[in-house]
Amino acid sequence: QVQLQESGPGLVKPSGTLSLTCAVSGGSISSSNWWSWVRQPPGKGLEWIGEIYHSGSTNYNPSLKSRVTISVDKSKNQFSLKLSSVTAADTAVYYCARVNGVNGHYMDVWGKGTTVTVSS
């Protein structure tokens, strides 16, 4: 079955750019699904960051839109997240997830998550 694996630096300096990749295995990123990023600050709830379709179409959380870029690399079967101008408030566990279907409303497959700390 489809599995997702996040990777990227665990430590990012304030004002820098957070960059993460989600590798998709057991299935194709070009399937009829959207692919999302979700984060969870320590001890807090879940926040949706944005999503991408294999065509390159994207949707972003309005509160993060000015700082977020999500891209897809079909040749590597992966998608990526860039979050610019980070502060300590961006410290969180970052998850990638599959949205079920083209018109999906829920996330049925999740990566294990990767912790990113913003600190000098």
Partner 1 sequence: EIVLTQSPATLSLSPGERATLSCRASQSVSSYLAWYQQKPGQAPRLLIYDASNRATGIPARFSGSGSGTDFTLTISSLEPEDFAVYYCQQRSNWGYTFGQGTKLEIK
Give the residue among 11, 7, 10, 38 at the shortest CA–CA distance from 20. 7
Alpha-carbon distance 106 to 97, whole Å? 10
Pairing state between β 114-118 and 11-12: parallel
Binding to partner 1 in span 35-94, by CB under 8 A: 36, 38, 45-48, 50-51, 59-62
Q: Closest approach of Cβ 111 to partner 1, in Å?
A: 7
**Which CB, 27 or 104, lies closer to partner 1?**
104
Binding site for partner 1 (CB under 8 A): 36, 38, 45-48, 50-51, 59-62, 95, 100, 104-108, 110-113
